[in-house]
């Protein structure tokens, strides 16, 4: 029995290692290329572990453009979208599960419906909308846009989550004299923290990685987010792969770090929220 | 009383500049602002213009080339487009995104206007109205890697003049892991540009005179040229593999890495190649495109500065465009960024004559047709339909005739569907 | 399902007003930020747009689009791409989750590692793969040639079938992590008593999966598949970055056709029509799928 188990384990580990290689090799190559000097990019055979590793590409990028500014913009917009998304979704989820239970599923379906149109179609109307609202070139425009993208999944997740919190808790709080608002804020929300974290991470990811919306809705380069600022470093007539990869590293590292830190919450949250829906 | 009067006048005089100090902000968007060769130049252009025009500020809008049109259109649709733009002129004019410039142009002194030839200006006109001032261009020629040519036993002093001579050179320039040229079949409009040069070099025409009919297959010389050019690809051909994913970028990469010996491209590609591989500096030479007919036209990509129709300060915008079109900047762009000047009064500028390759390209420009071709649907046709046909023909060479006949039908329909 | 609620908490029901207050922000937000662009897109599909001029043409655009070969071709490509990619997402995602669940060590590190493709923006990931698959200078071709598997560089994105396969492969790389995450979460909810019961009955690994794991995951699988289909069918970035629909339209999925029609062809009315048709297709697919599986769900519901 034990031998079968360990043989099976070995096989499983083999599968994992193969899958790991396929999954992670592109990242390794991204890092590898980003550290190469320009003359080595097209070397034949390509170098896997260069002896000429240099930070040239990073230096060029960081000096050519105000990457710090882009980073800050990305951060503001992503955090703003996260806050808005969590707030709206939590309010909506609570409202539906406590007061309009029958309409909850229908609402989720409606939200899903709004996501079925391809992004390209929405670019121009969004621009017009933000233009009319006088929000062009502001952080708020992007915050609003990104929150709207994250809503369907966030609401679905939190509705599932709130459903798993028994009504008895609400009633107990009411009996203790809490108002509806206090019940929501002081009692239920803390219980829903894993779900909120999941929604926050998810929204942050969408906001941080989004490109097309920031491209269209901002014109002032001081408002550019990281993804746009980096894309601008790519001219069609001149693409340095090492610089491009360095830019990709800079853009991806923050999200990776965030997820590594909060990963535990993510699985718990999805477990409790999405699965029981 | 007099003191009060004086004080009033003085304070008003001080107030006026205070009001005038609200600078006009003009946004400037052209895809080239993100090209690293050009950056030092445009920064100085803006700085000097602002110094000479204190009430006007120029705000560059940096956009990645592939997203340039998308961003412009999204803004134009909401009437918020940047004031100064360089875009596909005919398409933009047709769609109402640009301001006609005749009133500004005609108000300029003859000395200024004469610097542009009629043909060059015609490329910026739509339905008789001027929609842009041609600023720079790229003439397509044949660029050779001198060392690879010599290595193949060929004489750089006697480059091919006809297509047959070129093919003979091509066979010698092809060996293991290196080829004579790259056939451009990627999904961008550079594929179309190079294809047109082959058609024209053979004396063929892809369109009729007033752009109402496509004749890729209808014109036998055109079809013959297409088959010859696309036939270079393939297992035992003289072209590098993977043509359907070869765009400008891949072509220059191949050339910079000594994988192909010739490159049909504009002068700006030389700067890129040298940037990638400094060892190639001075090791290249350029000739007019080999042609089977005398004085065959080559292709010159013309970029013009335009004013968007939603611009609130067109007068100021025109000021900047004029400034940017001045001799000084044309020469600088030519020398530093390798972009061809379009004024006819810079050809003898010492900075230009000092660079033999630049001078060669300027001469080639005398027999050039401007690109994009003047039709509102050109962007669509060039980047979608023609490219699709090229790709299909590269993947199924035996069907080339049929593919280009279908292309004729499709494109003719689009040309007429305005 | 969560706890049933026979007594609809009478004190709460009376304060229905509060319910509106909670739900109002989202509804207002939706109306302002989402409904307007959607409506605009629908309305545009009924117009013939030429730059700043537009004329009402009713269903002309739909007729035009539906009678164009390009649309049907793109539809076929989209359906093929979506069905293959989503199937692979589900199968591989579930498999990975099962494997990770079985192995008890290094869980967190492995989870983070396997999640990484999801964290990178699709366009960035596609760019990295573009560099990996470069025919002359890319490392994938180099490795294949160095190990003798092939002797000439492969044009991964240069031939129709290969390009399609490459797109699917990159999308699988991108899409599996999220499914794996959902499945991992789902596996946590399988009651251990059921596994114990199965072990006591002497069930084999396969039987354990079939009779314990699978029924518990069914609902989640349905939801995950629906979400995945919606996301995959409207996905633009990977194809846009890597092939732009080529070669010879072999990878021209509907979102790419839409983008090309809108921003290269400058025919926004037609592009909007394509978008609405795409939406209708997705809606039909999702409804059909949910209908079919709801029957199953009711069986399983306790």
Kindly give, in sequence order, each residue whose CB lies less than 8 Å from that of residue C88, ignoring residues fewer than 6 positions away.
Answer: C168, C172, C176
The answer to whether residue A149 scores a pLDDT higher than 90 is: no
C chain contacts of residue B69, beta-carbon cutoff 8 Å: 263-264
Q: Does domain B139-299+374-416 sit in CATH 3.40.50.300? A: no
Q: Nearest residue of B to residue A132 by CA position? A: B78
Tokens of residue B167, six digits: 């093919």
Half-sphere exposure of residue B135: CA atoms within 13 angstroms, side-chain side:
25
Give pLDDT, residue C4: 45
Domain extent at residue C40:
5-44
The answer to whether residue A180 scores a pLDDT higher than 60 is: yes
Are residues C200 and C287 both part of a single domain? yes
Let me know: does C271 contact C74? Beta carbons within 8 Å: no
Are residues C218 and C288 both part of a single domain? yes
The answer to whether residue B130 scores a pLDDT higher than 70 is: yes
Let me know: does C242 contact C168? Beta carbons within 8 Å: no
Whether residue C21 is contained in a domain is answered as yes
**Between chains, do B62 and A128 touch, taking CB under 8 Å as contact?**
no
Give pLDDT, residue A80: 96
CATH class given for the domain over A65-276: mainly alpha
Are residues C151 and C245 both part of a single domain? yes
The answer to whether residue B9 scores a pLDDT higher than 70 is: no
Are residues C152 and C13 both part of a single domain? no
For B318, B355, C151, the CA distances from B136, given in Å and listed in that order, are 17, 17, 45
Give pLDDT, residue C102: 84
Please identify which residue in the block is written with the tokens 């000739």: B287
Query: How far A236 CA lies from chain C's nearest CA (Å)?
Result: 13
pLDDT more than 90, % of chain A: 20
Query: How far A62 CA lies from chain B's nearest CA (Å)?
Result: 14
Q: Is the CB of C273 inside 8 Å of chain A's CB atoms? A: no
Who wins on pLDDT, B22 or B404? B404
B chain contacts of residue C247, beta-carbon cutoff 8 Å: 185, 187, 244-245, 391, 394-395
d(Cα B321, Cα B304) in Å, to the nearest integer? 9
Are residues C38 and C71 both part of a single domain? no
B chain contacts of residue C246, beta-carbon cutoff 8 Å: 186-187, 244-245, 387-388, 391
Average pLDDT over residues B340-357: 84
The answer to whether residue B14 scores a pLDDT higher than 90 is: no
Whether residue C59 is contained in a domain is answered as no
DSSP-based three-state secondary structure for B239: strand
Query: How far B113 CA lies from chain A's nearest CA (Å)?
Result: 31
Are residues C124 and C241 both part of a single domain? yes
The answer to whether residue B347 scores a pLDDT higher than 80 is: no
Of C245, C248, C264, the CB nearest to B392: C248
Q: What is the pLDDT of residues A109-140, one digit of tens each?
A: 888 888 787 888 888 888 888 888 888 889 99
Whether residue C57 is contained in a domain is answered as no
**Between chains, do B380 and C52 touch, taking CB under 8 Å as contact?**
no
Q: What is the pLDDT of residues A34-88, one digit of tens each?
A: 998 888 888 878 888 777 888 888 888 888 778 888 889 999 999 999 999 999 9
Please tell me the pTM assigned to this model. Answer: 0.88
Residue ranges per domain, chain B? 23-138+301-363, 139-299+374-416
What rounded mean pLDDT belongs to chain B?
A: 90
Interface test with B, best of C51, C61, C137, C157 (most B CBs within 10 A): C51
- Stretches in chain C below the pLDDT threshold 50: 1-9, 296-297, 299-302
Q: CATH number, domain at C203?
A: 1.10.3720.10
Q: What is the pLDDT of residues C50-91, one digit of tens each?
A: 888 889 999 999 999 999 999 999 999 999 999 999 999 999
Among C237, C128, C242, CA closest to A30: C128
Give pLDDT, residue A276: 54
The answer to whether residue A2 scores a pLDDT higher than 80 is: no
Q: Nearest residue of B to residue A213 by CA position? A: B71
**ipTM for this model:** 0.86
Whether residue C17 is contained in a domain is answered as yes
**Between chains, do B276 and A235 touch, taking CB under 8 Å as contact?**
no
Kindly give, in sequence order, each residue whose CB lies less than 8 Å from that of residue B396, ignoring residues fewer than 6 positions away.
Answer: B403
How many structural domains compose chain C? Answer: 2
Q: Which of residues 182-211 of A touch C (CB under 8 A)?
A: 184, 205, 208-211
d(Cα A57, Cα A253) in Å, to the nearest integer? 16
Kindly indicate the confidence band of residue A8, based on its pLDDT and cuts at 50, 70 and 90. confident
H helices within A42-138, ranges in order? 56-64, 67-99, 101-114, 119-132
DSSP-based three-state secondary structure for B382: helix
Whether residue C35 is contained in a domain is answered as yes
Q: Does domain B23-138+301-363 sit in CATH 3.40.190.10? A: yes
Kindly indicate the confidence band of residue A1, based on its pLDDT and cuts at 50, 70 and 90. low
Whether residue C30 is contained in a domain is answered as yes
**Between chains, do A215 and B27 touch, taking CB under 8 Å as contact?**
no
């Amino acid at each position: 029995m034990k031998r079968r188990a360990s043989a099976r384990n070995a096989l499983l580990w083999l599968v994992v290692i193969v899958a790991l290689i396929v999954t992670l090799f592109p990242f390794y190559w991204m890092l590898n290329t980003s550290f190469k000097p320009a003359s080595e990019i097209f070397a034949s055979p390509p170098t896997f572990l260069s002896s000429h590793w240099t930070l040239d590409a990073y230096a060029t990028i960081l000096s050519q453009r105000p990457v710090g500014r882009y980073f800050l913009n990305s951060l503001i917009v992503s955090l703003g979208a996260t806050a808005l998304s969590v707030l709206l979704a939590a309010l909506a989820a609570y409202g539906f599960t406590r007061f309009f239970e029958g309409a909850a599923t229908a609402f989720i379906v409606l939200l899903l419906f709004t996501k079925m149109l391809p992004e390209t179609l929405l670019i121009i109307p969004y621009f017009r909308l933000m233009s009319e609202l006088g929000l062009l070139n502001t952080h708020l425009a992007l915050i609003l846009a990104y929150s709207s993208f994250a809503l369907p999944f966030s609401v679905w997740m939190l509705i599932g989550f709130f459903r798993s919190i028994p009504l008895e808790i609400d009633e107990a709080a009411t009996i203790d004299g809490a108002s509806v608002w206090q019940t929501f804020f002081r009692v239920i929300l803390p219980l829903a923290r894993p779900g909120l974290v999941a929604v926050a991470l998810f929204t942050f990811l969408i906001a941080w990685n989004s490109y097309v919306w920031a491209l269209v809705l901002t014109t002032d380069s001081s408002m550019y987010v990281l993804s746009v600022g980096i894309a601008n470093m790519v001219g069609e007539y001149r693409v340095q792969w090492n610089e491009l990869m360095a830019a990709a590293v800079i853009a991806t590292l923050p999200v990776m770090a965030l997820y590594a830190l909060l990963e535990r919450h993510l699985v718990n949250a999805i477990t409790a929220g999405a699965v029981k829906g | 009383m007099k003191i009060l009067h004086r004080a009033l006048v003085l304070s008003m005089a001080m107030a006026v500049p205070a009001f005038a100090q609200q600078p006009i902000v003009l946004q400037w968007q052209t895809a080239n602002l993100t090209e690293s060769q050009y950056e030092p130049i445009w920064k100085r252009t803006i700085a000097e213009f602002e110094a000479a025009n204190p009430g006007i500020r120029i705000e560059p809008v940096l956009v990645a080339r592939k997203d340039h049109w998308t961003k412009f259109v999204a803004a134009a649709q909401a009437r918020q487009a940047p004031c100064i733009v360089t875009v596909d002129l005919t398409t933009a004019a047709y769609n109402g995104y640009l301001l006609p410039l005749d009133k500004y142009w005609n108000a300029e002194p003859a000395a200024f206007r004469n610097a542009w030839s009629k043909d060059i200006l015609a490329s910026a006109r739509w339905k008789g109205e001027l929609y842009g001032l041609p600023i720079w261009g790229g003439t397509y020629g044949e660029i050779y890697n001198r060392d690879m040519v010599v290595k193949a036993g060929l004489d750089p002093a006697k480059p091919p003049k006809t297509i047959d001579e070129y093919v003979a050179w091509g066979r010698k320039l092809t060996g293991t892991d290196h080829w004579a040229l790259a056939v451009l079949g990627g999904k961008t409009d550079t594929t179309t540009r190079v294809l047109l040069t082959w058609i024209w070099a053979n004396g063929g025409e892809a369109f009729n005179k007033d752009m109402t009919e496509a004749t890729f297959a209808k014109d036998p010389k055109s079809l013959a040229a297409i088959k010859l050019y696309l036939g270079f690809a393939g297992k035992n051909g003289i072209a590098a593999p993977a043509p359907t994913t070869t765009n400008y970028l891949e072509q220059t990469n191949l050339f910079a890495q000594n994988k192909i010996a010739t490159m049909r491209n504009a002068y700006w590609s030389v700067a890129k190649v040298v940037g990638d591989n400094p060892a190639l500096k001075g090791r290249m030479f350029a000739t007019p495109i080999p042609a089977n007919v005398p004085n065959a036209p080559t292709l010159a990509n013309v970029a013009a500065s335009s004013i968007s129709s939603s611009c609130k300060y067109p007068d100021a915008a025109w000021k900047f465009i004029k400034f940017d079109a001045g001799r000084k900047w044309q020469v600088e762009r030519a020398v530093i960024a390798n972009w061809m000047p379009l004024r006819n009064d810079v050809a003898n500028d010492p900075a230009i004559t000092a660079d033999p390759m630049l001078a060669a390209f300027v001469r080639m420009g005398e027999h050039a047709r401007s690109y994009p071709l003047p039709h509102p649907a050109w962007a669509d046709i060039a980047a979608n339909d023609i490219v699709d046909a090229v790709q299909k023909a590269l993947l199924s060479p035996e069907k080339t005739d049929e593919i280009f006949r279908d292309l004729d039908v499709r494109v003719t329909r689009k040309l007429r569907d305005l | 399902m969560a706890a049933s609620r026979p007594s609809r908490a009478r004190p709460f029901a009376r304060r229905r007003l509060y319910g509106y207050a909670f739900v109002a922000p989202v509804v207002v937000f939706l109306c302002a930020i989402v409904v307007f662009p959607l409506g605009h897109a629908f309305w545009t599909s009924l117009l013939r747009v030429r730059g700043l001029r537009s004329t009402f043409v009713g269903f002309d655009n739909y007729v035009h689009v539906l009678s164009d070969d390009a649309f049907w071709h793109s539809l076929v490509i989209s359906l093929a791409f979506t069905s293959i990619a989503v199937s692979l997402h589900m199968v591989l995602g579930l498999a990975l989750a099962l494997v990770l669940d079985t192995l008890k060590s290094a869980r967190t590190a492995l989870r983070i590692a396997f999640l990484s493709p999801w964290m990178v923006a699709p366009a960035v990931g596609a760019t990295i793969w573009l560099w990996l698959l470069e025919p002359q200078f890319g490392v994938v071709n180099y490795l294949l040639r160095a190990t003798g598997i092939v002797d000439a560089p492969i044009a991964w994105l240069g031939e129709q079938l290969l390009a399609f396969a490459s797109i699917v492969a990159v999308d699988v790389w991108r899409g599996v992590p999220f499914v794996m995450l959902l499945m991992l979460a789902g596996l946590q909810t399988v009651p251990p008593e059921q596994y114990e019961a199965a072990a006591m009955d002497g069930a084999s690994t396969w039987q354990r999966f079939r009779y314990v794991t699978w029924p518990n995951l069914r609902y989640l699988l349905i939801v995950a598949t629906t979400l995945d289909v919606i996301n995959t069918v409207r996905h633009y970035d990977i194809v846009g970055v890597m092939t732009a629909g080529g070669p010879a339209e072999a990878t021209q999925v509907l979102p790419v056709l839409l983008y090309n029609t809108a921003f290269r062809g400058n025919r926004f009315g037609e592009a909007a029509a394509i978008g609405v048709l795409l939406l209708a297709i997705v809606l039909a697919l999702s409804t059909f799928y949910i209908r079919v599986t709801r029957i199953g769900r009711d069986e399983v519901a306790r």
